[in-house]
Amino acid sequence: MFCLQDQDPPPKSLQYRCSKLSPSVISKSHVRCRDPISGFSLGALQIGTSPPAPSEMPETNPFPLLRLPPELRNLIYQFALSEPGSLRYHHDKHLVTRAKLYASQNAADEFNQLKFVSRQMYMETAGLELRYNDLHFPFDQERSLHGVHMFLSFRDICSPIHQSWIRSVTIEDGPLKQFTAYLYMHFIHTFAKYNPKAMVRIIFRWFRLNSDNENFICHGIFLKMLARNADITYLVPRIRVYLQMDMDGVLGQALIPAFRKSPANVKFFPHGSFDEHDFRHSKDAGEVVIHPQVEGGIDTWVSHARDWFENGI
C-alpha cells in the first residue's frame, strides 16, 4: 500500500535546498529545479536575487525642464539648437507661410524639433536657431537658383522679430555670366542696415583662385574699389589703367550704385579656399605681382589674398 509517510518531507524552501549546493553551482545565475513531490519542473529560477523593493525601483518621472529657471532653459536651448555647420533654407514656391531651416541640403526634418514638443516649448524656442547658427543660401545649379533669390524668399516670410535674431548669413551667387547679386544689393543693404548685429557674407563663384590668378587679383581690386572706395591699383601698375577704365566705363557706372553704399556688416568673399603654395607658384601671379615697383613683391599679394578669403572685402 502506498504510504505518504514513507516519503521524504518536502523542503521548507527552495532557498534551503539551494544553500546545500556547492559554491560553483550557486555562482551560476540560474538553476533548474523540480518539485520534490510532483516531479514537475519549476523552471529556471535565479539564485541569490530577490525582487527590488519599492523604494529601489527606478524613477520614471520626466526631467522637469520647464520648471527650471528661464536662464538655465535658455542655455539648454542654445546647446540643443547649435549646429556645427550651417542651416539651409529649402526654397519651395508652394510654401509661403513659414520658413523651414534644415541641418543639410538633403535633411527631411526641420532642424528645430523642440518647438513641436508642446505649446510652451513652441513659444520659447520657435526661431531661436536663428541666433545660434549661420544661415547658408547656396547657388542651386540644377535649378539655376541663386542664393540671393533664396535669401530674399526667406526674408519675405520671416517675421521682423525673427529677422532681428539673425546673426550670420552666407549668400552664394552664381557664375559671372549669371551674376545677378548687384541687382538685389539694395535689398541686402536694407536688411543689413536694420539688422546691424547680423553679418552678411556674399560669396561670388566667379571670384576664385584658378590657373589665371591675374583675373583673381583684378576681381579683388575691382570689388575693393566698388564696395569700399579703396584704390589699391598701385600694387599692379601694369593693369592699373585697365581697371580704372572699367570703373569709369559702363560696367563701373552700373555697379557703383549697387556696391558703393555697402554697410560694414556686408562682406564679399572669394569662392573656395586659399592655397598659398599654388598662389605663390602660379606663373600668372609671378608675372603680375613680382614687379620692380611693387614693394614686398609676391608676399604683398599673398597677404591680400589671404585676407580676402578670411575676412572678406
Q: What is the spatial distance between Cα 51 and Cα 86, in angstroms, rounded to a whole number?
A: 51
Tell me the three state secondary structure of residue 202.
strand
Q: What is the spatial distance between Cα 309 and Cα 313, in angstroms, rounded to a whole number?
A: 9
> What predicted TM-score, i.e. pTM, was given to this entire model?
0.73
Give 260 or 38, the one with higher predicted confidence: 260
pLDDT digits (tens, 9 = 90+) for 1-53: 444 444 455 445 444 444 444 444 444 444 444 444 444 444 444 445 566 56
- Cβ neighbors of 129 (< 8 A, separation 6 or more) are 81, 83, 87, 101, 111, 112
DSSP states of 1-66: ---GGGSPPPPS-HHHHHHTS-HHHHTSSEEEEE-TTT--EEEEEETT--PPPGGGSPP-PPP-GG
pLDDT digits (tens, 9 = 90+) for 280-302: 877 555 554 444 456 677 788 88
**CA angle centred on 179, ends 242 and 144, rounded to 5°:** 155
Q: What is the spatial distance between Cα 282 and Cα 280, in angstroms, rounded to a whole number?
A: 6
